[in-house]
Amino acid sequence: MSEVKLYKITGDLRKRGEKLHFTKQIRALKKEHALQSLYADMGSRHKARKFDITIKTVEEITEPGEGA
């Protein structure tokens, strides 16, 4: 079975000539799935296209409350 992981994605969204910084946590099986989910969410919420979004970092993080 595949394990769902939590990814922290940071980057910039270009909107009307200015850059808006964002940090988003997304649950996904793979890094690629997390990025696809981010693009879909940003497009839906902000009418942003893929080339309007600049990804700076993608980190796999452990979920809060998990482990010791």
Q: Could you report the per-residue pLDDT of 6-35, keeping only the tens digit for each?
A: 999 999 999 888 999 999 999 999 999 999
Fold of 5-61: Ubiquitin-like (UB roll) (3.10.20)
- Domain-by-domain residue ranges, the chain? 5-61
1 pLDDT higher than 90: no
| pLDDT band, residue 44 (cuts 50/70/90) | very high
Total residues belonging to the chain: 68
In three-state secondary structure terms, 46 is: helix
**What is the separation, in whole angstroms, between the first and last Cα of the chain?**
24
pLDDT of residue 65: 54
**pTM of the entire predicted model:** 0.85
Distance, in Å, from the CA atom of 19 to the CA atom of 12, rounded to the nearest integer, reads: 6
